[in-house]
Chains A and B, each alone.
Chain A
């Protein structure tokens, strides 16, 4: 097993989340908001969707060296091997049996003609695609879905046998909704996986790679950029923000000076500079970066770091303003007169009262970070071109929008996955915020 830098950080993050949830479960007054989340339908459904994304991302984060090809691949690559091996020549539409562009082909009559050739893999089992294709897709989809349902039911059965009794006691509409979502996701996913044995369900891209595979691989990139950047930016934003607001005076002056300066330098410039520096470093230390994957991973990590460094100022300013307001509140003064020390006041009184702002802006930033990656890829300072990412997909598809018929599938696939992820994250964050705000505890 090989642990890349981002892999390590992701696993540390997952571990941290798991530990904090178990710690929270021990405290009775934290149990209440957590129970609140499990009671919210929207919250549970979006959590399931998020967990599915996270699951795929985690699968894609377990890297090892393949014994046959000597390449570094992830578990996801292992499961999706058929997809990676079945490349076409160039573009093809979803479920198509023909290539997107015309070629000189030799027909049945032995004559050369200018026409759309059949795909090597997509729909290759059909004799007469015009008539057979759609009935075949439907029947295969039904079979796939059926198998998916069976699989989901089997999983339920196992789950039920392990902890069924406990569940039955606390069975709520929200749990039902979550289970139903999970059921649908498993069945649909299985159906798509099943169908992709015969077809390219989301088409192929310029070099004939399966778009479905690309979108799955992009999930990890999106999650890494969203979470690691946030992780980088949060301590800076929260620490500086509440310190500037609470201590005022020269601390405030210095912090304000730093972020005003940082804000006035165009972010793109900083990012370009640091990415170039990393590239130069990697070129000079070629022995440390033996494979393409390691190099791409290093670049991704540095992109996260530099995005984090450039993007904390906005949140910092908001937190400073909120802290300025909070420090004048009487409960802070009461704590001061009780002899509570200043660090304790910051942690116990200020921090919990700005967390709602942090949560909202982090989730809103998440989508803009994923988009920022797309924009940066456009000017070639984003993730490595060999890294699968929604940004790279959009960037690649952008050039083909003018073609007739339009090459819409790369763009739509990237958009659809991004949309689902960001929407689920937003809805879930909303539920979390409501659950942890004691003033909203009674209502919906």
Chain B
């Protein structure tokens, strides 16, 4: 085998006493795609940043060597290393919005990198910018290069980030979760682009990701990190055929898969939730008197029904109106039209106290478990909040008992009650949010991307908990998600939303395995699935 392009030997990184990367060794060869996989907090990003020497000052980096083409990166003085970053090693970040300067045109931002590393005439720089924008397949580059980041879509911004990284013609491109912030269809495009550019330029691609399915389609070799330790390094074929380390096996087993969807025959029964021609329009106001000139049709005439004890998955890409629909059903966002029949009652006819009580039978679990709890309240108070508001007649002791019982239901220790939210991990917090929702005995829970902020293994646990609770208490879920694999794990029925409308609806198996609508087909095609090896 040839000399490795990047050779990392015995790298450790620690912050004060915490060792976040513990004596790892790996090599990256020219032209290959090397994937570093791990859950959040496993130290994969820290590893990449330590190679680029971009860690904060309180980080303690120790390594026998980090060598690029045989030259030890640790011994190069900082001032010279500045010329290496971008020129020899490029980097793409996760969030393209916060990585671009909002007050500079994208052309200027690309040109900045070129000017830094090559001494070219202004005309040549412009030509190179155009060439790069063409390379990352941005349509109409002449016009686009004079635009600002906010005028571009998320996928286009990530393409610009790739162009910036490519501007220095690096030998190694580090992509740190390059598609996590993007929709599935865009993600597929960006990944295909990365692959194509890699083939054109022959550079090495170091992909950092938490998504094994994605990695299985991209990588030549895979390394798995757990808590700062590199537990397994293998070629793709070896890894997916026979993962050696138990942690790798656990990761693979936790991966949700669409083909897990069951073919449940729906018992015909009265629907719990019936939505007819539901609309949420936001007015666009203009002029001195704020005249309404048009509407943004976030949810535009949606109808569906959901039976008791079943799960309806609402699938769609960001901006399709699925979260707005969920919030409007809870009256968190005012609806503009349509009917909602819940439990045989038309919610539109209720008002005041009766509405408040009835609405409480629909609860919501939010996407970000960190923002979903008041950081200054104790867990006991958070869970008891709904009880206090809706059933003021029960006394403090009964409430306490109820809280303890709920904590047990979501498999948390009773000692959690007197602690604050920040003391818990993401998965535990999501459990607390579920307990809070359960406290008021809801019939329907709207789950708004409840697992998208969580690691795969935690996600599997939360999905299992939701399924168990459904069986025990005959709960119905309206499960809002962008992740089709999760849909396969939990849904009985699937509704696909596109630009405010439901384009396809039916039993999970039918929609996932035999999609009818072209958009559903496109969506399903873009989902990364474990490549057959």
* A residues apposed to B, CB below 8 Å: 28-29, 329-331, 333-341, 344, 348-349, 352-353, 437-439, 441
Contact = CB atoms under 8 A, between A and B. Distances in A.
Nearest to A355: B376
B115 interface: no
B327 interface: yes
B372 A29 contact: no
Interface string B429-442: 00001001001100
B375 A339 contact: no
A83 to B, nearest CB: 48
Contacts of A353: 374-376
Nearest to A334: B372
Contacts of A339: 356-357, 359-360, 386, 389-390, 440
B271 to A, nearest CB: 21
B377 A337 contact: no
A330 B366 contact: yes
Given A339-B356, A438-B420, 11 more contacts: A28-B418, A29-B378, A29-B418, A331-B372, A333-B366, A334-B436, A337-B360, A338-B385, A340-B385, A349-B377, A438-B421
B374 A340 contact: no
Interface in B344-377: 356-357, 359-360, 362-364, 366-368, 371-377
A335 B332 contact: no
Nearest to B446: A337
B146 interface: no
B510 to A, nearest CB: 32
Contacts of B389: 338-341, 344
B330 interface: yes
Given A338-B360, A338-B385, A349 B371 contact: no
A333 B433 CA distance: 12
Nearest to A338: B386
Contacts of A349: 374, 377
A29 B380 CA distance: 11
B375 A438 contact: yes
A348 B378 CA distance: 12
B422 interface: yes
B390 A338 contact: yes
Contact of B362 (A329, A337, A341): A337
B332 A336 contact: yes
Shortest Cβ-Cβ A-B pairs, 8 listed? A338-B386, A438-B420, A330-B372, A330-B366, A339-B360, A340-B389, A352-B376, A331-B374
Contacts of B376: 352-353, 437-438
Contacts of A341: 389
Contacts of A333: 327, 330, 332, 364, 366
A16 to B, nearest CB: 22
B374 A330 contact: no
A334 B377 contact: no
Given A334-B364, A353-B374, A439 B418 contact: no
A326 to B, nearest CB: 9
Nearest to A344: B389
Contact of B363 (A338, A438, A441): A338
A29 B332 CA distance: 31
Contact of B373 (A331, A337, A340, A348): A331
A338 B357 CA distance: 9
A441 B440 contact: no
B363 A337 contact: yes
Interface string B132-176: 000000000000000000000000000000000000000000000
Contacts of B331: 337
B366 A334 contact: yes
Contacts of A331: 371-374
A28 B378 CA distance: 11
Contacts of A437: 376
B386 A340 contact: yes
Interface in B431-483: 433, 436, 439-440
Contacts of A334: 364, 366, 372-373, 433, 436
Interface in B368-426: 368, 371-378, 385-386, 388-390, 418, 420-422
Residue in B376, B388, B418, B440 with the greatest tally of chain A CB atoms within 10 Å: B376
A438 B364 CA distance: 25
B480 to A, nearest CB: 13
13 contacts: A329-B371, A330-B368, A330-B371, A330-B372, A337-B360, A337-B362, A338-B439, A339-B359, A340-B385, A348-B385, A353-B375, A438-B375, A439-B375
Contacts of A338: 360, 363, 385-386, 389-390, 436, 439-440
A330 B372 CA distance: 4
Contact of B374 (A29, A337, A352, A441): A352
Given A330-B372, A438-B375, A337 B356 contact: no
A339 B440 CA distance: 10
B475 to A, nearest CB: 15
A216 to B, nearest CB: 40
B391 to A, nearest CB: 10
A359 to B, nearest CB: 13
Given A353-B376, A438-B376, A337 B420 contact: no
B373 to A, nearest CB: 5
A334 B420 CA distance: 17
Contacts of B374: 331, 335, 348-349, 352-353
A438 B424 CA distance: 12
Nearest to B372: A330
Contacts of B377: 348-349, 352
A421 B526 CA distance: 65
Contacts of B375: 353, 438-439
Contacts of B436: 334, 338
Contacts of A438: 375-376, 420-422
B371 A441 contact: no
B385 A335 contact: yes
Contacts of A337: 330-332, 359-360, 362-364
A334 B438 CA distance: 12
Nearest to B364: A337
Contacts of A336: 330, 332
A3 to B, nearest CB: 38
A78 B13 CA distance: 67
A334 B436 CA distance: 9
